[in-house]
Amino acid sequence: MILNISTYLFTPLEDLSELREKLLEKCLSHELKGTILIAPEGINMFLAGQEQSVRDFFQWLHQDSRFANIETKDSWSSNQPFKKMLVKIKTEIIRMNHPSVQPSTGRAPSVKPVDLQRWLAQGHDDAGRPIVLLDTRNTFEVHYGTFDQAIHFDIPKFSDFPEAIKKHKEEFKDKTIVSFCTGGIRCEKANLFMREIGLKNSVQLDGGILKYFEEVGKDHYTGDCFVFDERVALDPALNEHPPAD
C-alpha cells in the first residue's frame, strides 16, 4: 500500500532556492512522488510513497523549526498516484492576490470536525447563531461532493473568492460562516479576508473535508472529495472512488 499525505503550513520562508534543492533531494532519495509548493508565505505538499519512506521524510522535515508543527492528512492507495516529484517556487502557496491576508502572522478561528458535526445536528452553533456552510472550492471540485445544504459561489478559481463573498456580506453578517475546502489551506485565507471585511463570525473547518472524513466520516456530507492526484476523488472512508481497475 502507498501512503498519501497532504499538508500545508503558513510560515515565513526566505531561502526558497536552497530549500527547494533540499526538499527535492530528500524526496528523490526516499523515492517519493508528488508536488511541493513553497513561497514566502509557507509550504503546501502532496506526497506519496512507501509508508516508512514518508515517515522518515517527515522526521527529517520536523528537524527544521519552521516545520516542526506541520501535521499531515493521511490516506492509502494500492498504486502510486503521482507520475513524478516536483518542487516549485511560487509567489503564494494558494493564490488569492490579497497581500494584506497573511496567515503566517495568525490564524482565524476554526471549528473541529466533531464540533461541526454537532452544530449541524443541532441546527446552530454554540452561541445559538444559524450556520452558513460555505464551500470555497472551485466549481468542478464541488460537483464531486459537498456538505449537505452548503452554498458555493460557482467560482472557476480561488482568486475570485474575495469579490464573490463581498456580494453576500449583508446576507451573512448575523450568521456563523463555516468555510471549508479540501484540506484547509484556502479557508485559512478565506476566513482572514472575511474578517477583514467585517464578517467576524467566520470560522474554518479545521483540516478541511479530508480531516472531517478521517474523524467523522460521511455524516452531513454527500458524494466524494476531489483530490489533486490520479485517484481523482476519495469517498468518506478515504478510499479511492471509484477504485482503480
Nearest to 214 by CA among 71, 96, 88: 71
What DSSP assignment string belongs to 27-65?
A: HHHTT-EEEEEEETTEEEEEEEE-HHHHHHHHHHHTTSG
Report DSSP state, residue 207: T
Lookup result for grid cell 482503480? 244
Active-site residue identified among 27, 181, 187, 225: 181
Distance of CA 165 to the CA centre of its chain: 19
Q: At 154, which amino acid appears? A: D
Asked if 19 contacts 27 with a C-beta cutoff of 8 angstroms, the reply is no
What count of other Cβ atoms lies within 10 Å of the Cβ of residue 211?
Answer: 20
187 tagged catalytic? no
List, by residue number, the catalytic residues. 181
